[in-house]
Amino acid sequence: MKMVYRVLITVLCFFAAVACYVFGIPAGGAIFLVVGVVFEGLFWFGLFGRKKVRE
């Protein structure tokens, strides 16, 4: 179940980033571009995640 939430949140971050870029570029809204970059960063972090340390 944890994996399903991780994938869902990652996909939602991707679509949120795209939406911010689409809205921010024509409107000239720098805030939306910055928020888009944040959501994109969250997407990439969620996609690759942290490496698990084996003991």
- pLDDT tens track for 8-37: 888 888 888 888 878 777 767 777 778 888
pLDDT at 22: 83
How far apart CA 53 and CA 24 sit, in angstroms, is 39
Residue 51 has pLDDT above 70, yes or no: no
Residue 3 has pLDDT above 80, yes or no: no
How far apart CA 40 and CA 55 sit, in angstroms, is 32
Q: 29: which residues sit within 8 A by CB, 6+ positions away?
A: 23
Kindly report the pTM of this predicted structure: 0.66
For 23, the token pair is 């809205």
pLDDT at 39: 82
Q: Are 47 and 12 in contact (CB under 8 A)?
A: no
